[in-house]
Structure 1
């Protein structure tokens, strides 16, 4: 029976034999972490909009960016000198400690000033935790899978985040109004501590993967001068940076609508819990069943192009007055589809670098670039807001989305589709024709 289930999952998710048993522990770990991060997202957003207000979001984006820069700087120093699993444990334990401290501050145990700052600290802590988890989970994963393995299993492992998010959304919907939104903070901290324990267990029990034997031959960044002179790396940085700035424009627009639409933080938290479950269910299906197929049939270039089109549609819709449906679509693009569709595709792009370079690429794009983009978004939004030009926020965001589309097109010119590690019946049927074409080519 178990063998039959293994074969069905292998065929359904476009995996190779033996992949399922190897990826299950990492799927479960990512599910636990994203259950915590999903609850933290809804909790922090509801508390901030209810107690501080959406007009202070640009300032909070800037403070979040500064906190992220400090955290990423510390992370990059640790990553050079400590084992991968040890760094991951510190990230998760540190995040849990911040959530617990913010909970105590919100309850008034640390003084009035700390209590007033608690919503902003929770908002920033969730974002910083997300940046560090995203930056380091891929590094942790590559310790146990080769490059070819990762081309197959990455979308499936990352689907664990969507599964965990479903559980986190259900907890947010039911426990948030019942216990009080702030009381979810210790639950989030407990899940983070559980993730740190799981990392310790996996590091002790699982063998590490061998280095990629063909890394030098397949290294797209292997030019004199290293990453800085790689066109793939340059366009990845530019396109990712523009996307991250556009993301904060989306975040500002839908949060402003939510603040006006919902009467209380409990009502907003319940709505976000319900919405998150449906959105993550859709994202889970996309990531588990469609991403590998999309890359296999449309190629990595086609998959990148789809994410660009979706972002342009979302920013284009925001040029008109928002409705609840339009705000939800903006939230879906900024959050769930970013995790379920764009991030796995971006990880496949990152996977085209050699194994040592992948760590640096993730540190740059997710660690260093993310807070810089958040700071730029904060400055741009704050300037438009202070200048009384809030009506220009949507057009400026759409213009940035157009620039992101151009940068993404330049990026696709330097991509190599990872077809060799994604088994495809279509490719198998076309192989004889391809060999015939090569043998009959006129020179």
Structure 2
């Protein structure tokens, strides 16, 4: 009976038989982490808009970017000397400690100045935590899955984040108004410590993955020793950097609307909790059932093109006066669809590099490029504000989205989708045990 259920679910999610039992613990880990990160996002946003104000967002973006650069620099140094599980535990324990200290500051236990700074610290800490978790989780997975495995299981494992986000949204909606938004910080800290405990268990019980059984995508620039010479890498850096700048324009626009639309912290926290649950449910369905099928039917190039079109639609709508529906669509693009659709597709782009280069690509894009893009976005938004050109923010953001579309077209030209592939055998007709190499040959995602 269990084997039949396993085959049915594997067919539904485009997995090989046996994948579910292997990816299950990582799905649970990612769910725990994103339950914490979702609560942190809603809590930080609510406290910042309620106690600081949306007009200070550009400055906060810049400070967050600088903090991210420092954190990523420390992360890269630590990653060279410690194991992937050990680094992950350090990240999660460190984030937990920052949230506890900021909670104490917010309560006024550390003095007036730290108390006033607490909302800004929460805002920056939740973004830095997200950058570090996203940057390292793929590296952590790489320790236990080969390239062939990752191409199949990545969208499903990352769907665990959407599942955990549903729980985090529910806690934000109900616990925030009941306990007070600030009192969510110890809950977030506890979940981060739980994630560190799960990482320790997985590191102790699971064997490392063997070397990749297939040859990496041919790239003469990579082979000659230098990512900077790779056209694929250069296009990825350009398109990803522009996307992250556009992301901060979206963030500013919908947050500015939320600040004036909601009258209290409790009202905003309850709305964000309610919205997050439905948005993450949609994102969960997309990531679990759509991403693999989209890549297999339209190819990786078609999947990347879809994310570009959705971003253009969102930025184009913001050229007119925002409504609640338009602001929600902007947040959906900037947050939930970024996690549920764009990030898994971007991970598949990253998987076209060799295994040693994947760590470097993730470090560049998530660790170095994203903070630089946030700093550029902060300077651009702050300049438009200070010069009295706030009305130019939407058209400027749309122009950046057009540049992102052009960069993405260049990226698409360098992606390699198989010209043809045989269909995946239906699990009901396939033998009970399917070799990884055989499954890899039948999957268009590889």
- TM-score with structure 2 length normalisation? 0.93
Q: C-alpha deviations, 1:224-273, integer Å up to 9, x for none? A: 24211000000000000000000000000000000000001110000000
1:436 is matched with which residue?
none
Other-structure match for 1:239? 239
Partner of 1:371: 371
1:257 aligns with 2:257: yes
1:398-409 alignment, distance < 5 Å: 398-409=398-409
Asked whether the 8 Å contact 2:176–2:270 carries over to 1, the reply is yes
> Contact (CA 8 Å) 1:283, 1:340: kept in 2 or not?
yes
Query: Which residue of structure 2 aligns with residue 330 of structure 1?
Result: 330
1:224 aligns with 2:224: yes
- Cα distance change on mapping 1:399 and 1:303 into 2, 3 Å: same
- 1:310-321 aligned at under 5 Å gives the runs 310-321=310-321
SS at match of 1:263: coil
Distance 1:284 1:184 in 2: 24
Q: Distance in 2 between matches of 1:213 and 1:291?
A: 24
Whole-angstrom distance in 1 between the partners of 2:421 and 2:197: 32
- State the partner residue of 2:45: 45
Which residue of 2 is the match for residue 350 of structure 1? 350
Partner of 1:22: 22
Match of 1:437 in 2: none
> What RMSD in Å do the two structures reach over aligned CA positions?
1.5
Q: Match of 1:100?
A: 100
- Deviation string 1:276-317 (CA, Å, 9 cap, x unpaired) is 000000000000000000000000000000000000000000
Question: Which sits farther off after the overlay, 211-220 or 70-79?
Answer: 211-220
Tell me if 1:182 matches 2:195.
no
Structure 2 CA distance for aligned equivalents of residues 120 and 272 of structure 1: 19
Shift of 1:223: 3.6
Give, in whole Å, the separation in 2 of the partners of 1:155 and 1:213: 21
Q: Please tell me whether residue 416 in structure 1 is matched to residue 416 in structure 2.
A: yes
- Identify the residue that residue 438 of structure 1 maps to in structure 2: none
Cα distance between partner residues in 1 of 2:359 and 2:268: 38
> 1:41-440 maps to which residues of 2 (within 5 A)?
41-215=41-215, 218=218, 222-417=222-417, 424=424
Q: Which moved more, 1:210-219 or 1:100-109?
A: 210-219
> What is the alpha-carbon distance in structure 2 between the residues aligned to residue 27 and residue 305 of structure 1?
27
Change (3 A) 1:404 1:205: same
Distance 1:102 1:418 in 2: 50
CA distance in structure 2 between the partners assigned to 1:33 and 1:422 by the alignment: 37
8 Å CA contact 1:220, 1:352 repeated in 2? no
CA separation in 2, counterparts of 1:421 and 1:240?
A: 29
Q: Which residue in the other structure is 1:433 paired with? A: none
Q: Is the 8 A contact 1:215 1:355 kept in 2?
A: no
Please give the alpha-carbon distance, in whole angstroms, between the structure 2 residues aligned to 1:419 and 1:296: 12
TM-superposed deviation, 1:219: 5.2
SS in 1 for 2:414: coil
Q: Which residue of 1 aligns with 2:444?
A: none
SS of the residue corresponding to residue 80 of structure 2 reads: helix
Q: Is the 8 A contact 1:102 1:122 kept in 2?
A: yes
Alignment partners' CA distance in 2, 1:219 and 1:29: 34
